[in-house]
Structure 1
Amino acid sequence: MNAKSAFRLTDVTLDESIGRSTPDVEHERAVAIFDLLEENSFTPEGHAGGPYHLRLSLVDQKLVLTIMTEAKEPVATHILSLTPFRRIIKDYFMICESYYQAIRSSTPSQIEAIDMGRRGIHNEGSQTLQERLKGKITLDMDTARRLFTLVCVLYWRG
């Protein structure tokens, strides 16, 4: 196994209390997990290598990342306050709602403008996630973006 493949996720699960949601949210969740597993860079600090399984959950308004090896051996559990994400997530939900409405009734240029704003807020959330995980888990930007989508899905129950 090469070093790059050792520092990646091969399975991601969301807390079982997360129920079904709207078709748009379910689509975002499925695409984020698929894309994340297709290509990611996930390096828990101080660990020799995976690949890894990640379980995301919300406990007392905190994000819990439980990391295990493929053999289900515990690697680390990180608990992050979601306070730094609240405004970003709220803004992201509002613009996503506008985006989904625009897809159904707006011109391509209007949809593109809303999507640019959506991507900007998404990047801000992804960068915040990378900063909050600094010294715990190293992620590339694409991995952080997909994980931020999943953090949003934990909140966004429809």
Structure 2
Amino acid sequence: MNETTGRLMRVMLEGEPLHRISPMQEADREQAVMDLQTENEFFPSSRPHLQSILHLSLQEGRLVFDIRDAQDAPVIAVVLALHPFKALVRDYQMLLESYASAVAEGREAKIQAIDMGRRGLHNEGAELMMARLEGKVVIDFATARRLFTLVCALHQKL
């Protein structure tokens, strides 16, 4: 990525999750935000050099990408139906619950298998995110994976 490519300077989650998230989910959310702020490729298709702030929220069953400039002034809002993500978010929630159970039981083989499944779900979520944003927002795969984690943190029980 070069300096002239648009990127996220900051990511802000708007609103509260629908229920308390587990310490593991909170750690995933914090790591995703830190990773996004370190390295990402994300910009509106019409503004390829924009250094932006993203306000990510769920509103009335929709995923809202409120993209703002470096001064936090609105640039564009991209609104996606949440429905296509529901099954993946539900599966992710079940995997996290299974992971916590496997950790509590000390079952290393099961932990590894669940972690592989979790990576696969993140990949699926990233591909869906990229497809849904196509033509509106340019986004790389790693950024899409991290944003999927944040969507899961915002809306655990779909």
TM-score over 0.5 for the pair: yes
Matches within 5 A, 1:1-158: 2-4=3-5, 7-18=6-17, 21-156=21-156
In structure 1, C-alpha distance between the alignment counterparts of 2:38 and 2:26, rounded to whole Å: 18
Gaps of 5+ in 2: none
> Matches of 2:107 and 2:113 in 1, distance apart?
10
The amino acid across from 1:16 in the alignment is: G
C-alpha deviation, 1:50, in angstroms: 2.1
In structure 2, C-alpha distance between the alignment counterparts of 1:14 and 1:62, rounded to whole Å: 14
Identify which range, 130-139 or 97-106, moves more after superposition.
97-106
Gaps of 5+ in 1: none
Q: Is the 8 A contact 1:14 1:154 kept in 2?
A: yes
**Which amino acid in structure 1 is aligned with residue 100 of structure 2?**
Y
Count of aligned residue pairs for this structure pair: 155
Instruction: Assess if the C-alpha contact under 8 Å between 1:25 and 1:156 holds in 2.
Output: no
Q: Distance in 2 between matches of 1:136 and 1:150?
A: 19
Stretch of structure 1 that moved more, 59-68 or 70-79? 70-79
Q: CA contact under 8 A between 2:67 and 2:77: conserved in structure 1?
A: yes
Q: Look up the SS of the partner of 1:2 in the other structure.
A: coil
State the one-letter code of the partner of 1:11.
Answer: R
Spell out, residue by residue over 1:93-122, the C-alpha distance to the aligned partner (whole angstroms, 9 max, x if none). Answer: 111111122122233222111111111111
RMSD: 1.7
Query: 2:125 aligns to what SS in structure 1?
Result: helix
Task: Give a deviation string over 1:35-73, Cα, whole Å, max 9, x none.
Answer: 111110112111152211000111111001100011123
